[in-house]
Amino acid sequence: MSRSSSSLRSLTVPVLAAALAAQEAPIRTSSPEAPAAVDAIQAAELLRHAEFLASDELGGRLTGSKGQQAAATYIAEHFESLGLEPLGDALDGEGERAASFYQRYGIERTFVVDGSALTIGDEKLEEGFAILGGKEMTVALEGEASWVGYGRTRGASRDVPEGERLDGKVAVVAIKGPRGRVRENLTVEQKFGMSFGVLGSLGRTARNLAKVGAEAVVFVQSADKLGLSDVLNYVALSPGKASVTPNFPGADRSMAMMSRLARSGGVPTIVLSTSASARALAALGVDPAAFAAFLADGEESPAGERGVACTLKIEVRHDEDARASNVCAVLRGSDPELAAEAIVYSAHMDHVGKRMDGDVFNGADDNASGSAGLLAIASAYAKAAERPRRSVIFLSVSGEELGLWGSQYYSDHATWQLDQLVANINTDMIGRNGPESGEMEVTVTPSYRHPKFSTIVRDAAGFAKSMGVTFSSGDKYYARSDHYNFAKKGIPVVFFCNGEHEDYHQVTDHADKLDGQKMQRIARLAFWTGWHVANSDARPATLGRQQGW
């Protein structure tokens, strides 16, 4: 799930098979109206899909990355194995639709070229750093690394003596931590709020050091209490972590342009992770205990060796012709008249990549869980004894985390006649219990208090009740996931999720924390809801605000 505009492992579980044994028995709902095919949706399949998508091998599935492409391939191959019809946008030489599951849209990528590295003494760092500024550059420096404490160039506490120059040198600077105690488990929003002040000071320090001749500035840190490494994932470049912007009309660029918030100092400006910082400081002969004391009181800067050789080789390139992909398939309806109409199941496959220290934002709940739901729902439809009357589209989108790009592109370039799309059912973060939804709760929008409350949500609430599941309002997420782009086109929507929790957009969102039974319940509810729409005589209708579900 993307953040609101205002708030700015491969995991193998050896005991999983035993745990799933109790989950394999069909769990039928108490209502006789439940479609028999719902029993095909099982926790085992859901967890299998989610574990793959949330594995370290996919590197956090940043839109346009190799990991996101691998996720798209996995999803397309699953659709193909089910015998679903491709519904991508590939055209043959005569302009006719060719058989492709992929719908590709334009993006621009700014990335660090392989081989970029910082070497201080005998320590060569090819990862574990972030580059501020987000601009193309080619840097090839050979000189010395100079330890300059906090990099102060003026006043009584200056770290660079008056009259001293840093020409031909790479200045190594300590990041000044916050005053007072910083609590653990900061939210993403809190990390951003506290880190932006630090990022601003880094830019100012680098500019001041450039004025006294520094060729580049490298910032080091001891303990990342603010989660600066997490924030830099969004606003800086790292090896294997590009900056991505959309390259098609009307796309939301607000998240993608965040690199502008972390300005460089006019010279190459680099931040090291805590582990890379320790290696760099050791190469400079800076005593760890003295460094820690300096950070604690800022009184006496630890001494470092002089004349330590340093090379900086950085190449940043921009590709304005890159592509990201959605994956789309359809099961044609059985009714000669209603088959021209379709419902769309959607879920986003992308997440936010990996930190500069190499730790992956696996995005197990966000949104390997919802994507697993989409795949299991597709399996259930494909294996059902009878086809639904209306056609059913299965749409896996990318770019959600960066501004709902994939669903916007699809809604603007639909591969099905837009006015024949009668409903969208979106699943995003369906695998956890937390502050917003308990074990037998689902967070839903539009709620009955919402002006776009419709017969889809009303009926889904009834199905949920027969399953022993209750709804809570998720209206604050109405514009924060992919259903929103369908709603903007006037298409009735329902969004199922579990809401945010302590691992939301954290590197701790791992697959071993997913609740297979909750995923099963929500995926079955989504299936039942769509099955009902696909077989009803009438299209869904907007009801407006109501007194209850």
DSSP secondary structure letters along 102-139:
EEEEEEEEEEEPTT-EEEETTEEESSSEEESS---EEE
Q: How far apart are CA 374 and CA 114, in angstroms?
A: 35
Q: How far apart are CA 344 and CA 339, in angstroms?
A: 13
CB-based contact 545:451 (threshold 8 Å): yes
Q: How far apart are CA 519 and CA 374, in angstroms?
A: 11
If DSSP codes are grouped into helix, strand and coil, which group holds residue 324? strand
Domain boundaries, the chain: 37-90+97-106+322-535, 111-318
Q: Take residue 303 and report the two structure tokens written for it.
A: 């001494």
CB-based contact 40:383 (threshold 8 Å): yes
Question: Phi/psi at 462 (nearest 5 deg)?
Answer: -65, -45
DSSP secondary structure letter of residue 157: T
R_g of the chain computed on alpha carbons: 26
State the fold for domain 111-318.
Glucose Oxidase; domain 1 (3.50.30)
Vertex 243 angle, CA 238 and 249, to 5°: 175
State the fold for domain 37-90+97-106+322-535.
Aminopeptidase (3.40.630)
Q: How far apart are CA 327 and CA 343, in angstroms?
A: 16
CB-based contact 328:103 (threshold 8 Å): yes
Q: How far apart are CA 120 and CA 172, in angstroms?
A: 10
How many CB atoms neighbour CB 212 within 10 A? 18
Which H or E element spans position 372?
Answer: helix 370-383
DSSP secondary structure letter of residue 302: P
Pairing, β 308-331 against β 102-112: antiparallel
Would you give per-residue pLDDT tens digits along the chain (549 residues)?
887 644 443 322 332 333 333 333 344 443 447 899 999 999 999 999 999 999 999 999 999 999 999 999 999 999 999 999 999 986 555 656 668 999 999 999 999 999 999 999 999 999 999 999 889 999 999 999 999 999 999 998 899 999 999 999 999 999 987 666 677 777 778 888 888 788 889 999 999 999 999 999 999 998 888 889 989 999 999 999 999 999 999 898 887 666 666 777 789 999 999 999 999 999 999 999 999 889 887 678 898 888 899 999 999 999 999 999 999 999 999 999 999 999 999 999 999 999 999 999 999 999 999 999 999 999 999 999 999 999 999 999 999 999 999 999 999 999 999 999 999 999 999 999 989 999 999 999 999 999 999 999 999 999 999 999 999 999 999 999 999 999 999 999 999 999 999 999 999 999 999 999 999 999 999 999 999 999 999 999 999 999 999
CB-based contact 474:449 (threshold 8 Å): no
CA distances from 122 to 148, 217, 276, 310 (A): 20, 19, 13, 9
Q: Take residue 20 and report the two structure tokens written for it.
A: 């799933």
CB contact set of 500 (below 8 Å; sequence gap of 6+)? 1, 429, 434, 435, 436
Question: Position of tokens 């719902």?
Answer: 38
Q: Take residue 213 and report the two structure tokens written for it.
A: 């001749």
Question: Phi/psi at 117 (nearest 5 deg)?
Answer: -160, 155
CB-based contact 347:376 (threshold 8 Å): no
DSSP secondary structure letter of residue 542: B
Question: Position of tokens 């992909």?
Answer: 325
CB contact set of 504 (below 8 Å; sequence gap of 6+)? 1, 187, 188, 365, 366, 429
